[in-house]
Amino acid sequence: MYQTVKYIFERYNGEYDWFYIIQDDSYTESDRIKGLVNHLSINTDLYMGRPEEFIGGETEGRYCHGGFGYLLSRSLLIKLQPHLENCRNDILSARPDEWLGRCIIDYVSVNCVSNYE
């Protein structure tokens, strides 16, 4: 996941305001995602998907489950980018979605949400 986020930031940061990350075996209605982001502020630090408790339940916060995909705002990625190397070295997780969630919570203080008002 480190390489994925790094690649997105390096290649597409200036081109897109929103990034939807999903597994390759999932179906998404892209028009619905587009309709959603058209109503959101591009300045919002948003990490949206299906919130899940971390395995073991000892970690504060909620991460977005990767099987359903999750939406990341460019403003969130900009704040996360300087900390990616620390996350890579300090956070141990066998699940990429949990790793990213822990990184976002630890360094940007944003939890996964299922909706945004």
Residue at 53 is within a domain: yes
pLDDT in tens, 91-103: 888 899 999 999 9
Residue at 114 is within a domain: no
| Number of compact structural domains in the chain | 1
Cα gap 5→81, rounded to integer Å:
8
Residue at 14 is within a domain: yes
Domain of residue 82: give its range: 2-108
| Segment 27-41 mean pLDDT | 90
Residue at 84 is within a domain: yes
12: domain CATH number? Answer: 3.90.550.50
CB 65 within 8 A of CB 77: no
Residue at 117 is within a domain: no
Residue at 13 is within a domain: yes
The H or E element that residue 48 is part of is strand 47-48
Which residues are 74's β-sheet partners? none
- Record the pTM: 0.89
CA atoms within 13 A on the CB side of 95: 14
Which pLDDT score, from 0 to 100, does residue 57 have? 61
Tokens at 41, concatenated: 């502020």
Residue at 116 is within a domain: no
